[in-house]
Amino acid sequence: MAVTEAVENYLETILILSKKQPDVHAIDICSYLGYSRPTVSIVLKKMKDDDLVTVDGSNHIKLTDSGKKVAERIYERHTVLSEFFEFLGVKRDTAVEDACKIEHDISDETFDLLKNHYKKLSGGSNE
DSSP 51-110: TSEEE-TT--EEE-HHHHHHHHHHHHHHHHHHHHHHHTT--HHHHHHHHHHHTTTS-HHH
pLDDT for 1: 53
pLDDT in tens, the chain (127 residues): 578 999 999 999 999 999 999 999 999 999 999 999 999 999 999 999 999 999 999 999 999 999 999 999 999 999 999 999 999 999 999 999 999 999 999 999 999 999 999 999 888 654 4
- The domains located in the chain, with CATH, are 5-64 (1.10.10.10), 70-122 (1.10.60.10)
Instruction: Report how far residue 75's alpha carbon sits from residue 61's, in angstroms, rounded to the nearest whole number.
Output: 18
pLDDT for 15: 97
Instruction: Report how far residue 36's alpha carbon sits from residue 118's, in angstroms, rounded to the nearest whole number.
Output: 38
pLDDT for 126: 47
The number of beta carbons lying within 10 Å of the beta carbon of residue 124 is 12
pLDDT for 123: 81
pLDDT for 40: 94
Letter for the amino acid at 31?
S
DSSP letter at 3 equals P
Reported pTM: 0.88
Surface-to-core class of residue 127, CB atoms within 10 Å of its CB (0-12 exposed, 13-18 middle, 19+ buried): exposed
